Structure 1
Amino acid sequence: MNSNMNQEVIQKQAATYVARLYSGELSAEEEMQIYAWCDRSPEHQQEFDTMLAIWDTSNQLFQTAQPKKKKKNTYWFTGIAASLVCSVLAIWYLANPAPAPLYQASIPKPNIYHTAVGELSTVGLPDGSVVTLNTDSAIRIDFTGQQRRVWLERGEAFFDVAKDENRIFSINTGEKTIRVIGTKFNVRKSDATLKVSVTEGLVAIQSSSIPSREPIDFEDAETLLPAGSVGAFNGTSEVITHVTSKEVLANQQWRQGIFRFNNEPLGNVITEFNRYRLKKITLQNRALGKLKISGVFKLKDGDSILSALEAALPVEIDRYPEYIELSARN
């Protein structure tokens, strides 16, 4: 009974959060609360993903019902939306007692995991650790009774590492090797830089050319990143910043399948969205890239940003077979 009641509470909270997310009134503080709640347990993340899927399959029932006087009616709207989501959830569960994951990963071999462009996947590793892969990402693993080794071949991944003091967990990214015992952190690898954001615990980073020591000697590590820090590395330098937990979670918002931009240059927004698209968006000139935009967008609905851009900015969209171009509106 208690277990069922607890599950119902989690479902209602997830429904409320999804409704708030698309209410048009979500504050930055509330958004960080959602990320923190999802990160608190796998059950929270699973229910949130399920609610997002239900929102999609119910033809976005609530987006067309937003009241004009937002501030006065926001919480009334959120309550109704959350109740409707829960109702749809009950029907959906009866028809689908064992729902499929929102995203599926391709697993060509037992020790290789990868995602396609626009795909997200959460996979469990043999030691109990959990890895969430972002778009167009790949990892290779080698786990034995003495070691836990991972190679980040490309892309971005969030690691929730199960603690095992007898087996160091290492991630080779090419030039750098990340070593932990048990912690939570995000790693993003690009052609030019490596970015590591630590949510929980302590992360040791060193050059891959330096032999690893067992156990970890944190005092001798080249770079130490505690919780609440972000490290950016390239071939010749590194930049370490210490930020709030909200900022660290903001760097991982892709795990919820959404992006939120606050007065962000259009060029940066397009660059980020193109990571999830096969048909890329281009700008006719650099001046367009300086325009600013704010909003919440779903990764699954890649063209939603195009509608938002047309409505919010002085741009027009031209669609071609191989790409989409934004130009200044005449």
Structure 2
Amino acid sequence: MSRAAEIEKRATLYLMRRDEPDWSPDDQAALDGWLSESMAHRAAFLRLQHVWDRADRIAALGDQSTRAKLRRGPGTSLKIIALAATLCGLAYLGVFLIRSSDITDRFLQRFEMLAQSEYETPVGGQRTVAMADGSTAELNTATRLRTAVGEDRREVWLDYGEAFFEVTPDPSVPFVVHAGDRTITVLGTSFSVRVDGEEVSVSVLEGRVRLDAAELPAGPSPRSAPTLSGGELAVARGAETLIATDAVDRVDRALAWRHGMVSFQQATLAEVAEEFNRYNTRQIVVDDPAVAAMRIGGNFRPTNSDAFLRLLQRAYGLQVMIEDERVIISQ
């Protein structure tokens, strides 16, 4: 089982356990401790809690006989089945549901709203995803995106990597992006979201978005959420959010990947190397602090690191040594 699957399994168990009447302060303390260990724990729990809460509404759509047939034992309900659908895929659950002939069309349609699609790109890869509402997402290198988009729900989860969204306007159904410990809410706009570990970056090309901090169970009320407009960007980490206004050039550079490029203006060589490493399995290593602090500017194709390395040799007189899957840059 992958680490992500193990985290989701643990989050699911906590949600199921918390729904029992004998949930105790010690249980809550154990949950709080687990949530504090990792942002991945918090993101998984919040995502599944959202599905868990929505499943209450879905359960209400079936009649009493339907719910009775789907109840399989103590503590098991449509809520758990709905959550299982999200974790295991709608196809598996569909086999079970079809056997219950009295499931109404309306129930199936509403249940389908919980189905999620998952998209990934490899290192150096890109792809465009079209969603049911007409919105699109362009996925950059090494990215995973999950979507749950339909007539009355538009939510996506950027687990890692970077994606550019063009959102079809629909004031009645906000488009919500969950990224790390942040939630970005829009009505119709074009913007990019990037997740680097515990740092979330948002670059707005046009329109407006709201950047919220995700709430933890029993946590404090969030502070007023900042709103970003076209030509603005934000970098959020933990409790801090830095916003740059009048940053059209920086937004353009942040979105250069959509045209197969990366763009830098007076970035350190360490920063440039880190960006190239997102697109290549062969990693650039800069151990010398003086070399790492050198300033670089220009536009480059991130998947053609050889051309960039030749530039470092010819224009900056640096040494390039290749060792297996590493490229070491030195004076």
Please give the TM-score of this superposition, normalised by the length of structure 1. Answer: 0.60
Once the two structures are TM-superposed, the CA of residue 258 in structure 1 deviates from its matched residue by 1.1
Partner Cα distance (2:171, 2:266) in 1: 44
Unaligned runs of 5+ in 1: 1-108, 212-219
The size of the alignment, in residue pairs, is 212
Structure 1 residue 276 and structure 2 residue 279: aligned? yes
Q: 1:241 aligns with which of 239, 244, 251?
A: 244
Is the alpha carbon distance of 1:262 and 1:198 closer, same or farther for their aligned partners in structure 2, counting shifts above 3 Å? closer
Aligned to 2:214: 208
Aligned to 1:267: 270
Once the two structures are TM-superposed, the CA of residue 199 in structure 1 deviates from its matched residue by 1.2
Partner Cα distance (1:157, 1:258) in 2: 15
Is the alpha carbon distance of 1:198 and 1:111 closer, same or farther for their aligned partners in structure 2, counting shifts above 3 Å? same
Residues 133, 151 of structure 2: 8 Å contact kept: no
Once the two structures are TM-superposed, the CA of residue 294 in structure 1 deviates from its matched residue by 3.1
Partner Cα distance (1:277, 1:268) in 2: 15
Relative contact order (alpha carbons < 8 A, sep ≥ 6): 1 or 2 greater?
A: 1
Partner Cα distance (2:230, 2:246) in 1: 9
Partner Cα distance (1:180, 1:221) in 2: 16
Aligned to 2:152: 146
Is the alpha carbon distance of 1:145 and 1:210 closer, same or farther for their aligned partners in structure 2, counting shifts above 3 Å? farther
Is the alpha carbon distance of 1:203 and 1:301 closer, same or farther for their aligned partners in structure 2, counting shifts above 3 Å? same
Partner Cα distance (2:293, 2:302) in 1: 23
Aligned to 2:93: none
Partner Cα distance (2:295, 2:141) in 1: 25
Aligned to 2:318: 315
Partner Cα distance (1:139, 1:321) in 2: 31
RMSD, aligned α-carbons: 2.0
Is the alpha carbon distance of 1:238 and 1:305 closer, same or farther for their aligned partners in structure 2, counting shifts above 3 Å? same
Once the two structures are TM-superposed, the CA of residue 210 in structure 1 deviates from its matched residue by 7.6
Please list, as runs of the form range in 1=range in 2, the aligned pairs for 1:1-330 lying within 5 A after superposition: 111-209=117-215, 222-328=225-331
**Aligned residue identity for 1:317:** V
Once the two structures are TM-superposed, the CA of residue 193 in structure 1 deviates from its matched residue by 1.2
Partner Cα distance (1:200, 1:277) in 2: 30
The percent identity for this pair of structures is: 32
**Aligned residue identity for 1:307:** R
Per-residue CA shift, 1:226-272, capped at 9, x if unaligned? 22211111112111120243332221111111123334321111111
Partner Cα distance (1:315, 1:173) in 2: 38
Is the alpha carbon distance of 1:284 and 1:239 closer, same or farther for their aligned partners in structure 2, counting shifts above 3 Å? closer
Is the alpha carbon distance of 1:312 and 1:263 closer, same or farther for their aligned partners in structure 2, counting shifts above 3 Å? farther
**Aligned residue identity for 1:207:** A
Residues 179, 193 of structure 2: 8 Å contact kept: no
Please give the TM-score of this superposition, normalised by the length of structure 2. Answer: 0.60
Partner Cα distance (1:249, 1:209) in 2: 31
Is the alpha carbon distance of 1:257 and 1:286 closer, same or farther for their aligned partners in structure 2, counting shifts above 3 Å? same
> Secondary structure of 1:275's match?
helix
| Over 4 Å off, 4+ runs | none
Is the alpha carbon distance of 1:194 and 1:163 closer, same or farther for their aligned partners in structure 2, counting shifts above 3 Å? same
Per-residue CA shift, 1:121-161, capped at 9, x if unaligned? 12211111111111101110112321011011101111110
Partner Cα distance (1:130, 1:251) in 2: 18
Partner Cα distance (1:319, 1:205) in 2: 42
**Aligned residue identity for 2:232:** S
Is the alpha carbon distance of 1:222 and 1:262 closer, same or farther for their aligned partners in structure 2, counting shifts above 3 Å? closer
> Secondary structure of 1:232's match?
strand
Unaligned runs of 5+ in 2: 1-114, 218-222
Bigger Rg, which one = 2
> Secondary structure of 1:309's match?
helix
**Aligned residue identity for 2:208:** L
**Aligned residue identity for 1:254:** W
Once the two structures are TM-superposed, the CA of residue 292 in structure 1 deviates from its matched residue by 2.6
**Aligned residue identity for 1:153:** D
Per-residue CA shift, 1:285-309, capped at 9, x if unaligned? 1111122333331123222111111
**Aligned residue identity for 2:320:** I
